[in-house]
Amino acid sequence: MQIKQFELNPVFVNTYLLYDETKEAALIDCGASTDEECRRIKEYIDYHGLTLKKLLNTHLHFDHVLGNRFVYETYGVHPQYHESEDSMPSLRIQGSAFGFPIDYEPVHAEHFLQDGEEIRFGNTTLKALLTPGHSPGSLSFYCEKDYCVFTGDALFRHDIGRTDLWGGNEDQLIASIKNQLLTLPEITEIYPGHGPASTVKEEKQHNPYI
Protein backbone atom coordinates (compact mmCIF):
# COMPACT_ATOMS: atom_id res chain seq x y z
CA MET A 1 0.00 0.00 0.00
CA GLN A 2 1.23 3.49 -0.90
CA ILE A 3 0.65 6.39 1.48
CA LYS A 4 0.56 9.96 0.17
CA GLN A 5 0.30 12.61 2.85
CA PHE A 6 -1.08 16.12 2.35
CA GLU A 7 -0.90 18.77 5.07
CA LEU A 8 -3.95 20.97 4.60
CA ASN A 9 -5.93 23.97 5.83
CA PRO A 10 -5.01 26.56 8.48
CA VAL A 11 -5.00 23.86 11.21
CA PHE A 12 -2.47 21.67 9.34
CA VAL A 13 -4.47 18.46 9.20
CA ASN A 14 -2.76 15.42 7.77
CA THR A 15 -4.86 14.02 4.96
CA TYR A 16 -3.79 10.55 3.84
CA LEU A 17 -4.42 9.11 0.40
CA LEU A 18 -3.92 5.33 0.40
CA TYR A 19 -3.73 3.17 -2.71
CA ASP A 20 -2.33 -0.10 -3.88
CA GLU A 21 -1.33 -1.91 -7.09
CA THR A 22 -4.97 -2.11 -8.21
CA LYS A 23 -5.05 1.73 -8.28
CA GLU A 24 -8.04 1.74 -5.98
CA ALA A 25 -7.71 4.40 -3.30
CA ALA A 26 -9.08 5.65 0.01
CA LEU A 27 -8.84 9.08 1.61
CA ILE A 28 -8.59 9.52 5.37
CA ASP A 29 -9.71 12.92 6.75
CA CYS A 30 -9.83 15.08 3.65
CA GLY A 31 -9.08 18.50 5.11
CA ALA A 32 -8.95 20.44 1.84
CA SER A 33 -10.41 23.89 2.50
CA THR A 34 -9.59 25.86 -0.64
CA ASP A 35 -9.89 25.27 -4.39
CA GLU A 36 -6.10 25.05 -4.56
CA GLU A 37 -5.98 22.29 -1.92
CA CYS A 38 -8.78 20.37 -3.65
CA ARG A 39 -6.92 20.70 -6.94
CA ARG A 40 -3.71 19.29 -5.40
CA ILE A 41 -5.56 16.15 -4.35
CA LYS A 42 -7.41 15.78 -7.63
CA GLU A 43 -4.23 16.25 -9.66
CA TYR A 44 -2.46 13.55 -7.64
CA ILE A 45 -5.36 11.14 -8.12
CA ASP A 46 -5.54 11.90 -11.85
CA TYR A 47 -1.77 11.71 -12.40
CA HIS A 48 -1.56 8.26 -10.78
CA GLY A 49 -4.74 7.00 -12.48
CA LEU A 50 -6.41 6.19 -9.15
CA THR A 51 -10.05 5.34 -8.52
CA LEU A 52 -11.26 6.72 -5.23
CA LYS A 53 -13.39 4.12 -3.44
CA LYS A 54 -13.61 5.27 0.19
CA LEU A 55 -13.67 8.44 2.21
CA LEU A 56 -13.00 7.71 5.89
CA ASN A 57 -13.19 10.15 8.79
CA THR A 58 -11.43 9.47 12.07
CA HIS A 59 -13.85 11.99 13.62
CA LEU A 60 -15.97 14.97 12.60
CA HIS A 61 -14.06 17.97 13.92
CA PHE A 62 -14.28 20.63 11.23
CA ASP A 63 -10.61 20.58 10.27
CA HIS A 64 -10.85 16.88 9.35
CA VAL A 65 -13.97 17.11 7.18
CA LEU A 66 -13.54 20.35 5.23
CA GLY A 67 -12.89 18.46 1.98
CA ASN A 68 -15.78 16.00 2.29
CA ARG A 69 -18.04 18.05 0.03
CA PHE A 70 -15.34 18.31 -2.63
CA VAL A 71 -14.81 14.52 -2.49
CA TYR A 72 -18.52 13.78 -2.67
CA GLU A 73 -19.14 16.19 -5.55
CA THR A 74 -16.06 15.10 -7.51
CA TYR A 75 -16.09 11.33 -6.92
CA GLY A 76 -19.60 10.56 -5.64
CA VAL A 77 -18.14 9.00 -2.49
CA HIS A 78 -19.90 9.53 0.86
CA PRO A 79 -17.87 9.71 4.07
CA GLN A 80 -17.84 6.82 6.52
CA TYR A 81 -17.35 7.35 10.25
CA HIS A 82 -18.67 6.20 13.62
CA GLU A 83 -22.29 7.00 14.42
CA SER A 84 -21.41 8.73 17.73
CA GLU A 85 -19.74 11.51 15.75
CA ASP A 86 -23.12 12.71 14.51
CA SER A 87 -23.55 14.29 17.96
CA MET A 88 -20.93 16.88 16.98
CA PRO A 89 -22.13 20.51 16.61
CA SER A 90 -22.66 21.79 13.08
CA LEU A 91 -19.68 22.88 11.01
CA ARG A 92 -20.83 26.48 11.34
CA ILE A 93 -20.80 26.31 15.15
CA GLN A 94 -17.46 24.50 15.24
CA GLY A 95 -15.93 26.93 12.76
CA SER A 96 -17.11 30.00 14.64
CA ALA A 97 -15.68 28.58 17.89
CA PHE A 98 -12.27 28.59 16.19
CA GLY A 99 -12.66 31.82 14.22
CA PHE A 100 -12.88 29.87 10.96
CA PRO A 101 -16.01 30.74 8.99
CA ILE A 102 -17.60 27.74 7.29
CA ASP A 103 -20.49 28.36 4.94
CA TYR A 104 -21.51 24.90 3.79
CA GLU A 105 -23.34 21.97 5.26
CA PRO A 106 -21.60 18.65 5.89
CA VAL A 107 -22.01 15.53 3.79
CA HIS A 108 -23.53 12.77 5.90
CA ALA A 109 -22.50 9.14 6.02
CA GLU A 110 -24.44 6.51 4.09
CA HIS A 111 -22.80 3.88 6.26
CA PHE A 112 -21.61 4.06 9.87
CA LEU A 113 -18.47 2.14 10.81
CA GLN A 114 -18.38 -0.15 13.85
CA ASP A 115 -15.45 -1.09 16.08
CA GLY A 116 -13.58 -3.94 14.40
CA GLU A 117 -15.22 -3.47 11.02
CA GLU A 118 -13.10 -4.23 7.96
CA ILE A 119 -12.88 -1.67 5.16
CA ARG A 120 -11.70 -2.93 1.78
CA PHE A 121 -10.43 -1.24 -1.36
CA GLY A 122 -8.30 -2.95 -4.02
CA ASN A 123 -6.21 -5.63 -2.30
CA THR A 124 -6.05 -3.62 0.92
CA THR A 125 -7.96 -4.12 4.15
CA LEU A 126 -8.17 -1.58 6.95
CA LYS A 127 -9.73 -2.32 10.31
CA ALA A 128 -11.69 0.37 12.16
CA LEU A 129 -10.65 0.59 15.82
CA LEU A 130 -12.90 2.59 18.14
CA THR A 131 -10.61 4.99 20.07
CA PRO A 132 -12.93 7.53 21.77
CA GLY A 133 -11.85 10.26 24.19
CA HIS A 134 -10.78 13.12 21.93
CA SER A 135 -14.31 12.89 20.54
CA PRO A 136 -17.12 10.42 21.33
CA GLY A 137 -16.73 8.20 18.27
CA SER A 138 -13.11 8.65 17.20
CA LEU A 139 -11.85 5.83 15.02
CA SER A 140 -8.34 4.74 14.13
CA PHE A 141 -7.72 2.80 10.91
CA TYR A 142 -5.29 -0.10 11.12
CA CYS A 143 -3.62 -1.87 8.20
CA GLU A 144 -2.36 -5.15 9.64
CA LYS A 145 -0.57 -6.21 6.46
CA ASP A 146 1.49 -3.02 6.26
CA TYR A 147 1.95 -2.44 10.01
CA CYS A 148 0.50 1.05 10.10
CA VAL A 149 -2.34 2.83 11.89
CA PHE A 150 -4.00 6.19 11.23
CA THR A 151 -4.92 7.61 14.61
CA GLY A 152 -6.62 10.94 13.86
CA ASP A 153 -6.39 13.14 16.95
CA ALA A 154 -6.34 10.29 19.49
CA LEU A 155 -2.56 9.77 19.50
CA PHE A 156 0.23 12.00 18.20
CA ARG A 157 4.00 11.66 18.33
CA HIS A 158 4.83 12.16 22.05
CA ASP A 159 1.38 13.68 22.64
CA ILE A 160 -2.31 12.84 22.85
CA GLY A 161 -5.41 14.62 21.61
CA ARG A 162 -7.04 17.41 23.58
CA THR A 163 -10.12 16.40 25.56
CA ASP A 164 -11.73 19.78 26.22
CA LEU A 165 -13.85 19.80 23.06
CA TRP A 166 -17.37 18.43 22.52
CA GLY A 167 -17.72 15.03 24.19
CA GLY A 168 -14.02 14.72 25.08
CA ASN A 169 -12.91 12.56 28.03
CA GLU A 170 -9.29 12.14 29.09
CA ASP A 171 -9.67 8.87 31.02
CA GLN A 172 -11.49 7.39 28.06
CA LEU A 173 -8.78 8.59 25.68
CA ILE A 174 -5.95 7.08 27.74
CA ALA A 175 -7.86 3.79 27.92
CA SER A 176 -8.44 3.85 24.14
CA ILE A 177 -4.74 4.40 23.48
CA LYS A 178 -3.63 1.68 25.90
CA ASN A 179 -6.20 -0.93 24.86
CA GLN A 180 -6.58 -0.34 21.14
CA LEU A 181 -3.33 1.22 19.91
CA LEU A 182 -0.42 0.26 22.17
CA THR A 183 -1.48 -3.39 21.89
CA LEU A 184 -0.59 -3.34 18.18
CA PRO A 185 2.82 -4.73 17.11
CA GLU A 186 5.61 -2.42 18.25
CA ILE A 187 6.89 -1.85 14.71
CA THR A 188 3.52 -0.41 13.67
CA GLU A 189 3.88 3.08 12.17
CA ILE A 190 1.55 5.69 13.63
CA TYR A 191 0.21 8.29 11.21
CA PRO A 192 -1.58 10.97 13.25
CA GLY A 193 -4.03 13.69 12.26
CA HIS A 194 -1.46 16.41 12.94
CA GLY A 195 2.33 16.47 13.04
CA PRO A 196 4.96 13.82 12.31
CA ALA A 197 4.63 10.05 12.27
CA SER A 198 5.78 7.74 15.06
CA THR A 199 5.70 4.07 16.00
CA VAL A 200 3.97 2.07 18.71
CA LYS A 201 7.37 1.30 20.24
CA GLU A 202 8.36 4.99 20.30
CA GLU A 203 5.10 6.01 22.03
CA LYS A 204 5.32 3.22 24.59
CA GLN A 205 8.76 4.46 25.57
CA HIS A 206 8.48 8.24 25.22
CA ASN A 207 4.88 9.44 25.32
CA PRO A 208 4.60 11.35 28.64
CA TYR A 209 0.81 10.85 28.90
CA ILE A 210 0.86 7.07 28.92
How far is the first Cα of the chain from the last one, in angstroms, to the nearest whole number?
30
User: Restricting to residues 140-169, which ones interact with Zn ion according to CB under 5 A?
Assistant: 153
Name the 3-class secondary structure at 96: helix
Handedness of CA 14, 194, 82, 95 (dihedral sign): negative
Q: How far is the CB of 86 from Zn ion (least distance, A)?
A: 15
Rounded Cα distance, 112 and 98, in Å: 27
Stretch that binds Zn ion, among 5-13, 40-48, 56-64, 94-102 (CB under 5 A): 56-64
Stretch that binds Zn ion, among 58-66, 93-101, 106-114, 118-126 (CB under 5 A): 58-66
Rounded Cα distance, 185 and 28, in Å: 22
The continuous run of DSSP H or E covering 27 comes out as strand 24-28
Q: Which of 31, 45, 56, 61 binds Zn ion (CB under 5 A)?
A: 61
Rounded Cα distance, 28 and 60, in Å: 12
Q: How far is the CB of 139 from Zn ion (least distance, A)?
A: 12
Q: How far is the CB of 21 from Zn ion (least distance, A)?
A: 32
Stretch that binds Zn ion, among 59-67, 89-97, 110-118, 181-189 (CB under 5 A): 59-67
Helix axis angle, 35-47 to 68-75, nearest 10° = 40
Q: Is 53 in the site for Zn ion (CB under 5 A)?
A: no
Give the nearer residue to Zn ion in terms of CB position, either 155 or 184: 155
Stretch that binds Zn ion, among 31-39, 53-61, 84-92, 139-147 (CB under 5 A): 53-61
Q: By the criterion CB under 5 A, which residues form the site for Zn ion?
A: 61, 153
